Amino acid sequence: MSHLATHVTPQDYAAPPAIARWGSRALTVGVLFSVLAVAGAIWKWDLFLRAWLFGFLFWMGPTLGSLVLIMLQYTSGGNWGRLGRRFWEAAAGNLPLMFACWLPIAIGMKALYLWASMPRDQAVKEFGQKIELYLNPTGFWIRGIAFFFAWWLFYRYLMRWSKKEEAGETSPAQFVSVQNLSGFGIVFYAWTITFASIDWAMSLDPGWWSTVWGMLFMVGEVLTAFCLTIMLLVKLAPMEPLSQMFKIDYLHDFGKFMLTFVVLWAYLSFSQWLIIWSGNIVPEIRWYLMRLRGGWQFFGTALIFVHFVFPFALLLSRNLKRDGARLIKIAMLVIIMRLVDLFWQTAPAFYPAGDLSRMGWLDVAMYIVCPIAIGGIWLFLFSNRLGKRSIMPVNDPHFVEMLEAKHG
């Protein structure tokens, strides 16, 4: 083992050239659609903000979800996490981009959130004291900045450790502090994303409340990160240098994780619906009533069957989870349904009559343009960051075991 370790260097696992090509294509698409998004913002600012919020919430998924997966891997160990660590480090590094994407939402909050546009006295009278104590523009700004700053601090600490490890400047004794911080970081993420999801999404209907809401966002973000990881692994596995150590067992592991989080998402979604529906309190069931008529019910039905039933039935198969060509299609399908889920959660709030036909062609266009604009820039920065380092953590104490498992 020690003989092998002395001959494995970060340069041996440099990122393949294909990553740079993917980044260039993503940048071209991102710039083009960003121009269209800016034109839409100039033309119809309110509509732009609605679509921008939708795109922002989706791309926060692989960003924060990746940060959580880094901490989970440091806490629990496992070769599956070593295989995806560089992907997650590159994805979580887009936190500054997502903060920049959050700024238009904070600046234009009065066009998005009813509680921000109403006179304070009227808002308190209609929605209760929580408007005065929590949902106010100052608190929205302070919490948003604090959340991004805290997440960035966790990311910088973990990256500093990763770079030291890559340079061979770490020891097992020093790793204890990284494990402890990662364990705390997972709990901290759960707390902060709960409040962030309330601010950014749930407060679109300030009279509605769900105690499961934050957990749904946590699961959705990690699920999106897992799907992106599967897509990357399938594309990169045949290429050098990943082909030197990639085993089909690793793909099987990620397929099982995707199945787990699909089931968890379905369980939480059903629990939220069951609790609210059985309670039969008008301010609470109104949120579902808006989404069960006027055309919105088709999105809800699609979520049941395409986000849960179909992937669940397929991912039960061991052979499918070990077939990259089929597993990547399931991952892409789940990512599309993540978009549908966020659209179903947020868009009806802007069409109070509950009629989907009120959406014009410009509405549809902006809901397509904004996620692609953010995604193009996101993928470019991700590819650029991923291409600058070794694609595997070769100086991890257990990395050579992965090589030995591959070659017997």
Give the pLDDT confidence score for residue 353 in this predicted structure: 61
What is the token pair recorded at 371? 């996620």
- Residues 114-143 as b or e (16 or more Cβ within 10 Å = b): bbbebeeeebbeebeebbeebbbeeebeeb
Give the pLDDT confidence score for residue 133 in this predicted structure: 79
Would residue 37 be called left, alpha or beta, if left means φ above 0 and alpha means ψ between -120 and 50 degrees? alpha
3-state secondary structure of 18: helix
SS3 percent helix, strand, coil of the chain, rounded to 5, is 80, 0, 20
Would residue 77 be called left, alpha or beta, if left means φ above 0 and alpha means ψ between -120 and 50 degrees? left
Give the pLDDT confidence score for residue 407 in this predicted structure: 46
Give the pLDDT confidence score for residue 404 in this predicted structure: 61
**11 contacts: CB under 8 Å, gap ≥ 6:** 390
In eight-state DSSP terms, residue 242 is G
Residue extents of the structural domains in the chain: 2-10+36-407
Give the pLDDT confidence score for residue 15 in this predicted structure: 85
pTM, rounded to two decimals: 0.94
Render each residue's pLDDT in the chain as its tens digit; 408 residues.
344 444 677 787 888 999 999 999 999 999 999 999 999 999 999 999 999 999 999 999 999 999 999 999 999 887 888 889 999 999 999 999 999 999 999 999 999 999 988 887 787 777 776 677 788 899 999 999 999 999 999 999 999 999 998 888 877 778 899 999 999 999 999 999 999 999 999 999 988 889 899 999 999 999 999 999 999 999 998 888 888 778 888 899 999 999 999 999 999 999 999 999 988 888 788 899 889 888 899 999 999 999 999 999 999 999 999 999 999 999 999 999 999 999 999 999 998 766 777 788 999 999 999 999 999 999 999 999 999 988 888 887 777 776 665 544
For residue 100, give Cα distances in angstroms to 63, 128, 376: 13, 32, 15
Give the pLDDT confidence score for residue 4 in this predicted structure: 42
Cα pseudo-dihedral 78, 80, 83, 86, rounded to 10: -80
Q: Are 356 and 3 in contact (CB under 8 A)?
A: no
Give the pLDDT confidence score for residue 6 in this predicted structure: 46
Transcribe 159-223 into DSSP letters. Answer: HHHHHHHHTT---HHHHHHHHHHHHHHHHHHHHHHHHHHHHHTGGGSTT---TTHHHHHHHHHHH
What is the C-alpha separation between 280 and 79, in angstroms, rounded? 47
Q: Give the number of other Cβ atoms within 10 Å of residue 61's Cβ.
A: 23
What is the C-alpha separation between 133 and 121, in angstroms, rounded? 13
